[in-house]
Chains A and B, each alone.
Chain A
Amino acid sequence: MHELPVTQSILDVVLRHAERHQVKKIHAINLAIGALSDLQDEWIQSYFDYIGKGTLAEGAKLKIERVPVVFRCRACAGEFEADVREMRDITCPTCGKGDLELVSGREYYIKSMEAE
């Protein structure tokens, strides 16, 4: 729902780094977004295509890596991936306990850009 302000932030951050590295053109931007985020990939890209016009990032492809939800079991310290939307059955696959801690899945991160 709020893809536009998020996309604007991505553009701002990337252009700041482009200036620092004296970049002529940005081809792609690598993002890591946690599976818990409700952002829609297609919307981010189309907003980006729109607001990026006339900047160094015009036409850049957003490559989005979805970081899985990973829990750590507080009983045995084992880590495992889970689909939170199927959470009724989430317990530690090693010891069967349900006292869990969220390790990843909330990322909102610009990793790098491909530029010349």
Chain B
Amino acid sequence: MSDVRLIEIKEDILSDNAGLAEELRRRLREKKTFLLNLMSSPGSGKTSLILRTIEKLRDEFSIGVLEADIDSMVDAEKVASRGVQAVQLKTGGFCHLDAAMVRTGLDAFDLDGLDLVIIENVGNLVCPAEFDTGSTKNAMILSVPEGDDKPLKYPLMFSVCHALVVNKVDYLGLSDFSMELLRERVKKLNPDISLFEASCKTGQGIDGWTDWLAGEMRKHLK
């Protein structure tokens, strides 16, 4: 006779990652370093937004960038040319960053001298949303050419972010993209999200985003 019994487990599938992410957050609090996890699809403007953010905040804060773009040094080189510390993680085709990979990247920085580290996550609206990186805050970019229906297709991403930058607003009017409809869809999934309309190309609206980030950082560094 087989004796099959039901054993309760009640554990999160990603509990190891969640535990490691909490450990990272503790370490970052001690070091007074703010970790921003920036996510979006490929080509929506992550590198451009990082460069704009550095431009605005570099006088007040010391900044590092953790690049996770798939096997390319291009982004790290662009960022390093602005005199900011950049570390390139070779994700080798992986679809997302997890807390262990972020820890490896952070070990390459001297956190004592850094107020802000920006993670440029892998360009993907699906997988990065599932994995806690240990970040202080999550932000995402949606660019106008991608369409206002993205919250319907990638709801998890929109629900885990604290801020959304709608980039390339200089393209508004060229398609049927509706800012109002987008805002409505996003707010239903995540009523507390801060939404910024911006163009990294023209510089329009960048201040709203950097003011939000600087405000969150001051709260964290207190």
Interface residues of A (CB under 8 A from B): 1-2, 5-6, 9-10, 12-14, 17, 21, 23, 27, 31, 33, 36-38, 69, 74, 84-88, 90, 98-102, 106, 108-116
Contact = CB atoms under 8 A, between A and B. Distances in A.
Nearest to A101: B191
Interface string B142-183: 000000000111011001000000000000000000000000
A116 B4 contact: yes
B159 A106 contact: yes
A38 B188 CA distance: 20
Given A5-B98, A85-B153, A87-B151, A98 B184 contact: yes
Among A87, A90, A115, residue most surrounded by chain B Cβ atoms (within 10 Å): A87
24 contacts: A6-B13, A6-B14, A10-B13, A13-B9, A31-B13, A36-B155, A36-B156, A37-B156, A74-B191, A84-B152, A87-B155, A87-B185, A102-B159, A106-B156, A108-B14, A108-B130, A110-B11, A110-B12, A112-B8, A112-B9, A112-B10, A113-B9, A115-B4, A115-B5
A60 B63 CA distance: 48
A84 B10 contact: no
Contacts of A88: 152, 185
B7 A9 contact: no
B96 interface: yes
A111 B4 contact: no
Contacts, number: 105
Contacts of A17: 7, 9, 11
Contacts of B96: 1-2
Contacts of A5: 98
Contacts of A87: 151-152, 155, 185, 188-189
B81 interface: no
Contacts of B4: 27, 114-116
A106 B129 CA distance: 11
B15 interface: yes
Interface of B: 2-17, 95-96, 98, 124, 126-127, 130-131, 151-153, 155-156, 159, 184-185, 188-191
B12 A108 contact: yes
A63 to B, nearest CB: 12
B156 A13 contact: no
Contact of A112 (B7, B130, B188): B7
B6 A110 contact: no
Contact of B126 (A31, A38, A98): A38
A27 B3 CA distance: 11
Contacts of B188: 87, 90, 98, 100
Nearest to B3: A116
Contacts of A14: 9
Contacts of B2: 116
Nearest to A7: B13
Contacts of B155: 36, 69, 84-85, 87
Contacts of A69: 155
Contacts of B131: 2
